């Protein structure tokens, strides 16, 4: 990093954009920089200060260098208007060092927009939160959004412009790009990922106009093309469906992981959870049926899960359609003989009897015929689905991509501009993109990291992170939001707009001007543009959608004839399912340590993908966890370790995409196993008739949880391999209290009864039975507490990464995870019980529960962990000497120890991702959840400054803020009107291991499953003990 | 012919052959006075030093890198370091018991082994004290254990059993050192009187001007008695306090009231095991079979039988209480010890600590020296496993199955444990080389000459 870049980081970046939330005034400090805002001025200025760069700086020189760099900030980089940039020496009036500022922006994810608010500390973005005004996030976020901070400060990001491996000036590229503009576009192609940016769309239109013979191709390896095609078949229009789950009482998902890795998961989870917020026994809740072949977040949240192979999903739909026909829905369906009769019947009956409030969802990569039928059934059910035009976003098209590859192979393409995508790694293996690429003369790759594709391209241009550039994005329902830069580009990077504009317009356009002009002409058409624009920058989005939902009319009647039931699985062969990774998605987050280390939902695997196989298959073929398998599909083979997973279909093996990358990322290079070679254009969802060979080698897999309740206790005394699973299962009803809705309605106080059950003296509280003496009066002042609703939690991991980002939790690496030393303050426990093929899943997120009578506090020899007067169990890091006694004595095992100095070799750039409000812990020190005490303190200080009491909603803790299910409530438990008090007054409230008398401040709301009486299994309802 | 008095019979058993004051002095003092150090000593010393080098090296690396070099993890935050600490402290117990309690009970058979045992105590406690220092995450601030006045007004947390532990073990060490040294004074004077040159000066300095006068003996006996009185409760208190590290916690398997007596019994058991091991080696190497006799070994075996049965009782009582309490967490903690992944550790403990000492019901085995030697080592292996069972097996599966994990020690766990043997034996061999390994003055007490009643027994 050059000195200038370093200095840049320290500078204030502000823009009119970021109107301070409470302060809508005009700013008067821009003018001072106009003096040096031209390029010549800047160069002159830079020369003057050049001699200072490598020498120690006097204060005076330092200031002039700042001024020069500030000008640089304005002229280069992301082309923010120069007058919007100020150095700290001329801070905005009212700027208080150390007080963070929040700017609205947007995380573009495929053809969706996730509105975010970014927390800036001294003008350094360190934390992402959802934007409450944004319809796709509603103030919430997911793990990808949370981890995008670390992506920004990835030291391995591409830097500058390279031509055939050599650094080259940007002007050289401009020359090249302008030369392309002079042609009619013949032999030119642009390949990009999905996008919903109106600006890019508008550039595309100009591109088509100015270069009529050029090609513009959109390809995304994980896409919804079949869904859109199915809807087109059903309604003769390509439309984007938006599932209004808040209006759905019955949700039937056939292979859709809508709460997990499927697109728009924040929106889905938020709306889904709204109908699971049970206040008391009179509340209603939705019911979720999930049919899937490998257990997902969605499946583990289901009230009724059906284990069905992916290739049988169409049969299942046909059967469901038949049942719906029987129940009176006008469907042309024949009876299909299937084994899943009861589940189908129950689901169909529920769908029908809740017409208008029931919905059917399908796995996005299943066939178009499948989606056609689903769309038609939904239409006939009057399901709460809104359809929006798709014409303004750019979605993946496999045919376009295929013809591009063909053209490339034939040598018809001379110039190929790849924007962000990594097709060499993730395109269908039958296209052999790498080979096609070698036939192209000039290849430009705009990339955030030097990856598989970059290595084969002649031009490599570093791409901006969304923290660094101007752009925009649009939600499915047409709300356009702006992406505004938070910081100067760290690594001399460019945005797609900068790369495209010289090709399209023969001149380089600043991203800011381009975005603004598109907004002026296409989005904010009425009224005072500047005023509206300022509001957009403040709010993050334009208040009016670009379009409304469209009415759909079926072009055909729902018929199971459209379905293909030709799938035949040979004996002893398997179907292979390709799933997006919940950690690295399609591979794009492979270099993100937070995401690599987060335990995946259900399997708790970190740092690897594996072939998920069912217990029965493992027993039959004598496969152990970590045993290498050779999976062959046709002529292609891959090797990958096996991981035995409950709920996995016996006929299928699930593979996660996105691993086994070979690129210049120190975190993700070579992590896991690349499964793309098995994935072809015709089989992007699953492939049949794969054969597996069990190899005689094992591979170490790092799972953070050994005991889920269904695994064998492999080291136990001979003959006792069910010791741990049996015990774990018997504890589930105690730890994750759960019942069916019916049982709860009949026994509203069952949770309380359970808690009281073994109490020796019913007149006393459990805390009074504690061996530790309650010696503090907690009845005064704010007393912090938390409530976690297990009914709505989907174990999506957003909280865990939000916590990691907020609290500077180190990434420790696979080896340390295998030793059991992962540092996440929030761990998500997954327990399975019942049938290993279709287990009942109980998940529970566990962090420090802040016991009022904390076992950790009494045992610390040096009083490093103590209680605050507001009821928080606190760690004094610099007093801790690391006896680890506190952690031993913690019944919840939530304390994490720095066995090594995990942050010692943290690159300087990554240090910028750290939250300055939270200390970095040295080795030998214990740490754990603090209830985000830095946020508590900040809120208390501002309340004190305003001479008032701190009130509910003044602040949120990081996990609570991120939780898309809104399952976490936090606040003052002494305030009877606070959200947390209300939650804790619910009769489902219980404390974990209450009988120990620790009086935890974090309590849980029991899990309620809304089971259909037709399908009820009896294992819930409090269980044993 | 006069009938032999009981004292004579006892003396004959404990000091067979025709021994008198002179021969005893010559035999015992002769060892440190040897002109040429025996080659066996050098071999053993070289071996001990190389273990010590391993110790220094691995502790150095530990300080440099952090406790991550060990196998500890979440949830097993304590591993071999704490096991070794408790093990070494336990071994130390026999010394004090032999010196103090048996002295108070006038069990003169102890006189042949008490010096040995006390020295063993000292070095064992030193080995033990190493661990609380090095097992912490930030070794450079380990002095915060001490109640040192400071500008922050921060004191140690007196509610923490680790602080009690720290004080208990230090007190124990201090008293043991004083006791050992007090007992040495007459012998140091003997050595001084027999030595020349520099040796005479050094021994003389430490002999504190001992002349063996009546008044000196009177004061000496009183001081020794008082120290024995002070030490006696310590025998019981130290390991009780150590056990409270576990017993005061909330973790099932630790949170048991049986721990203090059971720990003390176990400590004495292991201590006698170690004394047995060492004395069998020493009497062989230095040909002291006539001073440390089979009779002594028999008596020690009897104590091991007693304490072995006590720990055996404790093991079964733990299971009974776990079952009787009806507490499922408690029950599982114990079932998991016997049948869980570390079942071999539990059964190794049961075999060594409960099964093996049962042979001591038979005199034949109590007097069979190779058998005793093997047994004494098994006892200490068993007691190491007992601490392994308590520390590791308890922690690896406690309340929340989601946090359960396996524990695997690393080479550094092993290296530091082996290294403490280097520390122990280096010290012990130096003691053997320079100081009388048997108390010369006290060994003579069992001779008929020491008995003022001459054939008229008290009893």
**CATH number of the domain residue A175 falls in:** 3.40.50.740
- Chain B hits for A703, CB-CB cut-off 8 Å, are none
State the virtual CA torsion across A887, A892, A895, A899 in degrees, nearest 10: 70
ipTM of model over 0.85 = yes
Mean pLDDT over each residue of chain A, to the nearest integer: 85
Binding-face residues of B in 213-272 toward A, CB within 8 A: 245, 248-251
In a domain, A416, yes or no: yes
Nearest to B405 among A706, A731, A924 (CB): A706
Whether A493 is in a domain gets the answer yes
> Would you state the pLDDT for residue A338?
66
A561: in domain? no
Best residue in B393, B400, B404, B405 for a mutation probing chain A (most A CBs within 10 Å) = B400
Most confident of A766-770, B141-145, B448-452: B141-145
A positions 697-726 inside 8 Å of B (CB):
705-709, 713-717, 720, 723-724
| The pLDDT of residue B4 | 52
pLDDT digits (tens, 9 = 90+) for A748-765: 888 888 888 888 888 888
User: pLDDT-derived band of residue A6, with 50, 70 and 90 as boundaries?
Assistant: very low
A960 and A988 share a domain? Answer: yes
> Which of B73, B248, B395 lies at the smallest CB-CB distance from A821?
B73
Q: Are residues A325 and A362 in the same domain?
A: yes
Q: Residues A524-562: pLDDT tens digits?
A: 888 888 888 888 888 888 888 888 989 988 888 888 787
Domain membership of residue A100 (yes or no) is: no
- pLDDT at residue A1020 greater than cutoff 90: no
Question: Quick one: pLDDT at residue A475?
Answer: 92
Minimal CA–CA distance to B291: which of B80, B447, B152? B447
> So what's the pLDDT on residue B451?
64
B145 CB neighbours in chain A (<8 A) are 861-862
Q: Are A845 and A828 in contact (CB under 8 A)?
A: yes
Residues 6+ apart with CB under 8 A from A777: none
> A738 and A667: one domain?
no
A492 and A625 housed in the same domain: no
What residues make up the domain containing A304? 225-389
Of A707, A714, A859, the CB nearest to B404: A707
Confidence of residue A824 (pLDDT cuts 50, 70, 90): very high
DSSP class of A649: -
Question: Given A714, A846, A881, which is nearest B144 (Cβ)?
Answer: A881
Which pLDDT value is given to residue A801? 93
| Pairing mode, strands A686-698 and A574-579 | antiparallel
pLDDT the model gives residue A4:
42
Q: Is residue B433 part of a domain?
A: yes
Does the structure show a pLDDT above 50 at A267? yes
- Relative to beta strand A480-483, strand A471-474 is antiparallel
Q: How many beta-carbon contacts under 8 Å exist across A and B?
A: 198
Q: Is the per-residue pLDDT at A772 higher than 80?
A: no
Encode pLDDT of B403-425 as tens digits: 999 999 999 999 999 999 999 99
Q: Helices B39-65 and B114-134: crossing angle, nearest 10°? A: 20
Domain count, chain B: 1
Say what the pLDDT of residue A1023 is: 47
Largest CA distance in chain B: 81
Q: Is the pLDDT confidence value at A442 over 70?
A: yes
pLDDT at residue A846 tops 80 = yes
Same domain for A865 and A1008, yes or no, is yes
Strands (E), A917-1006: 926-927, 968-972, 989-990, 1002-1005
- List the single residue in B with minimal CA-CA distance to A896: B74
> Does B190 reside within a domain?
no
Residue A51 has pLDDT above 70, yes or no: no
CB proximity B406 to A under 8 Å: yes
Look at A895 and B138 and tell me if their CB atoms are within 8 Å: no
pLDDT tens per residue, range A702-733:
999 888 888 888 888 888 888 888 888 889 88
CA distance A757 to chain B (A): 13
Q: Reduced to 3 DSSP states, what percent helix, strand and coil does chain A have, rounded to the nearest 5? A: 30, 20, 50
Closest CA to A183 of A156, A212, A158: A212
Residue A340 CA to its chain's centroid (Å): 33
Q: How confident is the model at residue A632 (pLDDT cuts 50, 70, 90)?
A: very high
Report the share of chain B in percent with pLDDT over 70. Answer: 93
- Could you say which of B65, B136, B343 has the minimum Cβ distance to residue A717? B343
Type and span of the H or E element at A188: strand A188-192
For residue A636, give the DSSP letter. E
Residues of B in contact with A897 (CB under 8 A): 67, 74, 77, 137
What pLDDT was estimated at residue B6?
57
Q: Do residues A872 and A944 share a domain?
A: yes
Q: Scanning every residue of chain B, which has its alpha carbon at the shortest distance from the alpha carbon of A925?
A: B137
Whether B66 and A771 lie within 8 Å, measured CB to CB? no
The last residue of a domain, from among A497, A521, A539: A539
pLDDT, position A859: 92
Q: By residue range, what is the domain housing residue B93? A: 6-145+152-171+234-450
Among B157, B245, B400, beta carbon nearest to A862: B157
Q: Which residue's entry shows tokens 């490998």?
A: A294
Whether residue B181 is contained in a domain is answered as no
Q: State the pLDDT confidence band at A1004, using cuts at 50, 70 and 90.
A: very high
The pLDDT score that the predictor gives to residue B375 is: 92
**The pLDDT value given to residue B310:** 93
Cα B73 to Cα B79: distance, rounded to the nearest angstrom: 9
Query: Strands A239-243, A215-218: parallel, antiparallel or unpaired by DSSP?
Result: unpaired
Give residue A883's pLDDT.
92
CB distance from A759 to chain B under 8 Å? no
Average pLDDT estimate for B328-341: 91
Q: What is the per-residue pLDDT across A449-487, written as a single tens digit (0 to 9) for each?
A: 999 899 889 999 999 999 988 999 999 999 999 999 888
| A664-676 residue pLDDT tens | 888 889 899 999 9
Please identify, among A346, A363, A389, the residue that sits at the C-terminal boundary of a domain.
A389
Q: Do B402 and A888 touch (CB under 8 A)?
A: no
Where b means 16+ CB within 10 Å and e means fewer, A972-993 reads bbbbeebbbbbbbebbbbbbbb
Mean pLDDT confidence for A932-938: 92
Report the distance separating Cα B438 and Cα A453, nearest Å.
Answer: 81
pLDDT at residue A378 greater than cutoff 50:
yes
Q: Give a yes or no: residue B177 inside a domain.
A: no
Is A927 buried (19+), middle (13-18) or exposed (0-12) by CB count in 10 A?
buried
Are the beta carbons of A724 and B340 separated by less than 8 Å?
Answer: yes
Q: Are residues A942 and A1007 in the same domain?
A: yes
Q: Is residue B81 part of a domain?
A: yes
Position B167 in a domain: yes
Q: Taking CB atoms and an 8 Å cutoff, what residues of chain A touch B392?
A: none
Rounded distance between C-alpha atoms, residue A316 and residue A345, angstroms:
11
Let me know whether A82 and A193 are in one domain.
no
pLDDT band at A1019 (very low <50, low <70, confident <90, very high): low
Q: Name the pLDDT band for A60 (thresholds 50, 70, 90).
A: low
What pLDDT is recorded for position B5?
55
Answer whether residue A1022 shows pLDDT above 70. no
Determine the residue of chain A that is closest to B395 in CA distance.
A888
Tell me the average pLDDT across B274-302: 83
Domains: count for chain A: 5
In-domain check, residue B211: no
pLDDT of residue A682 exceeding 80, the answer is: yes
Query: How far is C-alpha A55 from the geometric centre of its chain's CA atoms?
Result: 44
Write out the two tokens for A794. Answer: 């989907």
Residue B153 at interface with chain A, using a CB cutoff of 8 Å: no
Q: Quick one: DSSP state of residue A420? A: S
Residue A334 has pLDDT above 60, yes or no: yes
A499 shares a domain with A603: no
* Alpha-carbon distance A819 to nearest alpha carbon in chain B (angstroms): 6
pLDDT average, residue stretch A850-866: 91
Residue A10 confidence (pLDDT) above 50: no
**Same domain flag for A477 and A573:** no
Which of A488, A518, A539 marks a domain boundary? A539
């Amino acid at each position: 990093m050059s000195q200038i870049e370093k200095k840049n980081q320290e500078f204030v970046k502000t823009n009119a954009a970021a109107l301070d939330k409470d302060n809508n005034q005009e700013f008067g400090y821009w003018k001072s920089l106009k003096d040096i805002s031209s390029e010549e001025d800047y160069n002159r200025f830079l020369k003057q200060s050049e001699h200072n760069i490598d020498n120690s700086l006097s204060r005076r020189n330092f200031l002039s260098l700042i001024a020069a760099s500030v000008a640089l900030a304005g002229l280069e980089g992301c082309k923010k208007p120069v007058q919007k940039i100020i150095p700290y020496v001329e801070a905005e009036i009212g700027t208080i060092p150390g007080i963070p500022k929040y700017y609205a922006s947007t995380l573009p994810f495929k053809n969706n927009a996730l509105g975010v608010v970014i927390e800036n500390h001294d003008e350094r973005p360190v934390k992402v939160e959802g934007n409450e005004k944004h319809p796709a996030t509603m103030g919430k976020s997911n793990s990808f959004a949370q981890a995008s901070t670390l992506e920004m400060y990835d030291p391995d990001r591409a830097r500058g412009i390279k031509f055939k491996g050599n650094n080259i000036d940007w002007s050289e590229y401009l020359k090249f790009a302008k030369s392309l503009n002079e042609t009619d576009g013949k032999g030119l192609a642009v390949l990009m990922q999905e996008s919903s940016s109106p600006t890019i769309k508008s550039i595309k239109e100009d591109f088509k106009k100015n270069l009529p013979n050029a090609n513009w191709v959109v390809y995304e390896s994980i896409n919804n093309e079949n869904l859109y095609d199915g809807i087109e078949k059903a309604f003769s229009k390509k439309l984007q469906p938006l599932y209004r789950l808040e209006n759905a009482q019955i949700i039937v998902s056939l292979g859709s992981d809508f709460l997990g890795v499927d697109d728009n998961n924040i929106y889905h989870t938020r709306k889904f959870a709204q109908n699971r917020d049970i206040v008391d026994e009179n509340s209603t809740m939705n019911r979720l049926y999930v049919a899937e072949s490998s257990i997902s977040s969605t499946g583990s949240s289901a009230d009724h899960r059906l284990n069905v192979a992916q290739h049988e999903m169409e049969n299942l739909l046909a059967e469901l359609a038949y049942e719906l026909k029987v129940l009176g829905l006008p469907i042309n369906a024949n009876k299909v003989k299937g084994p899943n009769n009861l589940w189908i019947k129950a689901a169909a009956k529920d769908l029908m009897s809740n017409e208008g409030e029931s919905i059917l969802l399908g796995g996005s990569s299943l066939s178009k015929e499948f989606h056609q039928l689903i769309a038609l059934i939904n239409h006939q059910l009057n399901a709460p689905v809104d359809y929006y035009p798709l014409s303004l976003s750019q979605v993946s098209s496999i045919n376009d991509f295929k013809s591009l590859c063909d053209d490339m192979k034939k040598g018809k393409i001379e110039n190929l501009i790849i924007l962000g995508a990594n097709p060499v790694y993730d395109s269908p293996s039958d296209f052999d993109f790498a080979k096609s690429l070698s036939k192209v003369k000039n290849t430009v790759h705009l990339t955030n990291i030097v990856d598989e594709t970059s290595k084969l391209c002649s031009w490599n241009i570093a791409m901006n992170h969304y923290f660094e550039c101007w752009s925009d994005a649009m939600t499915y329902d047409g709300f356009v939001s702006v992406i505004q830069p938070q910081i100067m580009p760290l690594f001399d990077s460019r945005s797609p707009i900068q790369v495209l504009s010289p090709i399209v317009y023969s001149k380089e356009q600043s991203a800011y001007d381009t975005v603004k002009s598109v907004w002026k002409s296409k989005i904010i058409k009425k009224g005072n543009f500047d005023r509206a624009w300022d509001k957009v920058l403040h709010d993050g989005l334009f208040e009016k959608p670009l379009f409304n939902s469209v009415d759909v009319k079926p072009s055909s009647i729902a018929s199971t004839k459209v379905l293909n039931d030709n799938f035949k699985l040979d004996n002893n062969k398997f179907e292979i399912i390709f799933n997006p990774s919940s950690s690295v998605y399609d591979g794009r987050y492979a270099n993100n340590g937070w995401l690599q280390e987060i335990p995946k939902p259900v399997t708790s695997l970190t740092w690897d993908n594996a072939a998920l196989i069912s217990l029965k298959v493992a027993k039959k073929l004598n496969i152990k966890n970590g045993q290498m398998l050779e999976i062959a599909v046709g002529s292609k083979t891959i090797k990958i370790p096996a991981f035995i997973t409950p709920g996995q279909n016996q006929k299928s093996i699930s593979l996660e995409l996105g691993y086994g990358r070979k690129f210049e990322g120190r975190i993700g290079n070579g992590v896991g196993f690349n499964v793309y070679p098995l994935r072809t254009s015709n089989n992007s969802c699953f492939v049949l008739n794969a054969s597996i060979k069990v190899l005689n080698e094992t591979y170490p897999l790092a799972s953070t949880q050994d005991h889920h309740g269904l695994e064998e206790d492999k080291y136990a005394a001979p003959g006792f391999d069910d010791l741990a699973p049996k015990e774990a299962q018997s504890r589930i009803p105690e730890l994750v209290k759960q019942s069916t809705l019916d049982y709860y309605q009949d026994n509203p106080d069952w949770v309380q009864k359970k808690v009281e059950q073994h109490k020796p003296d019913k007149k006393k509280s459990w805390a009074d039975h504690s061996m530790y003496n309650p010696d503090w009066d907690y009845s005064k002042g704010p007393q912090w507490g938390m409530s976690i609703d297990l009914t709505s939690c989907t174990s999506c991991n957003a909280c865990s990464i939000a916590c990691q980002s907020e609290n500077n939790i180190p990434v420790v690496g696979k080896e340390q995870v295998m030793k059991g030393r992962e540092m996440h303050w929030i761990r998500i426990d997954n327990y399975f019980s019942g049938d290993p093929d279709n287990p009942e899943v109980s998940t529970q997120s566990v962090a420090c529960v802040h016991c009022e009578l904390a076992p950790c506090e009494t045992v610390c020899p040096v009083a490093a962990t103590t209680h605050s007067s507001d009821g928080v169990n606190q760690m004094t890091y610099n007093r801790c000497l690391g006896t680890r006694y506190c952690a031993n004595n913690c019944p919840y095992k939530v304390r994490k120890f720095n066995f090594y100095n995990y942050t010692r070799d943290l690159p300087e750039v990554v240090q910028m991702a750290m939250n300055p409000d939270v200390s970095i812990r040295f080795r030998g020190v214990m740490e754990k959840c603090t209830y985000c005490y830095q946020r508590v303190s900040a809120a208390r200080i501002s309340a004190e400054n305003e001479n008032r009491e701190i009130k509910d909603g003044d602040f949120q803790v990081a996990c609570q803020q991120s939780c898309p299910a809104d399952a976490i409530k936090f606040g003052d438990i002494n305030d009877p009107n606070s959200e947390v008090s209300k939650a804790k007054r619910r009769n489902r409230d219980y404390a974990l291991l209450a009988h120990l008398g620790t009086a935890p401040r974090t309590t849980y709301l029991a899990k309620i499953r809304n089971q259909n009486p037709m399908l009820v299994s009896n294992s819930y309802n409090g269980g044993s003990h | 012919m006069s009938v032999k008095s009981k004292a004579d019979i006892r003396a004959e058993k404990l000091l067979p052959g025709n021994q008198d004051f002179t021969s005893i002095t010559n035999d015992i003092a002769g060892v440190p006075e040897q002109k040429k150090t025996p080659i066996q000593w050098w071999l053993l010393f070289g071996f001990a030093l190389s273990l010590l080098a391993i110790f220094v090296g691995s502790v150095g690396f530990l300080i440099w890198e952090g406790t991550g070099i060990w196998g500890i993890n979440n949830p097993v935050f304590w591993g071999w370091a704490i096991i070794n600490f408790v093990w070494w402290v336990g071994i130390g117990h026999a010394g004090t018991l032999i010196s103090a309690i048996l002295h108070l009970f006038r069990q003169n058979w102890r006189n042949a082994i008490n010096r040995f045992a006390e020295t063993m105590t000292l070095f064992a406690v030193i080995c033990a004290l190493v661990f609380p220092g090095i097992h912490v995450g930030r070794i450079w601030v380990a002095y915060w254990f001490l109640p040192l006045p400071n500008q922050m007004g921060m004191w140690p947390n007196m509610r923490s059993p680790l602080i009690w532990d720290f004080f208990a073990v230090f007190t124990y060490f201090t008293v043991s050192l004083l006791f050992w040294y007090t007992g040495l004074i007459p012998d140091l004077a003997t050595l001084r009187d027999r030595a020349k040159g520099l040796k005479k000066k050094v021994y003389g300095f430490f002999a504190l001007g001992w002349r063996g006068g009546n008044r000196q003996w009177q004061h000496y006996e009183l001081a020794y008695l008082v120290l024995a009185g002070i030490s006696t409760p310590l025998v019981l208190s130290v390991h009780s306090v150590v056990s409270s590290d576990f017993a005061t916690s909330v973790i099932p398997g630790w949170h048991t009231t049986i721990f203090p007596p059971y720990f003390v019994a176990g400590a004495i058991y292991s201590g006698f095991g170690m004394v047995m091991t060492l004395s069998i080696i020493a009497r062989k190497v230095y040909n002291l079979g006539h001073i440390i006799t089979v009779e002594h070994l028999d008596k020690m075996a009897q104590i091991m039988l007693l304490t072995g049965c006590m720990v055996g009782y404790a093991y079964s009582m733990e299971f009974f209480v776990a079952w009787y309490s009806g507490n499922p967490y408690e029950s599982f903690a114990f079932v998991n010890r016997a049948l869980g992944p570390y079942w071999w550790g539990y059964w190794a403990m049961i075999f060594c600590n409960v099964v093996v000492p049962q042979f001591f019901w038979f005199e034949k085995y109590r007097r069979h020296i190779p058998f005793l030697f093997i047994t004494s080592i098994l006892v200490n292996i068993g007691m190491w496993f007992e601490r392994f069972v308590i520390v590791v097996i308890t922690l690896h599966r406690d309340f929340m199955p989601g946090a359960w994990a396996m524990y695997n020690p690393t080479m550094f766990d092993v290296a530091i444990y082996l290294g403490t043997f280097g520390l122990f034996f280096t010290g012990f061999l130096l003691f053997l080389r320079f100081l009388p390994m048997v108390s010369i003055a006290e060994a003579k007490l069992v001779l008929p000459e020491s008995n003022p009643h001459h054939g008229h027994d008290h009893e």
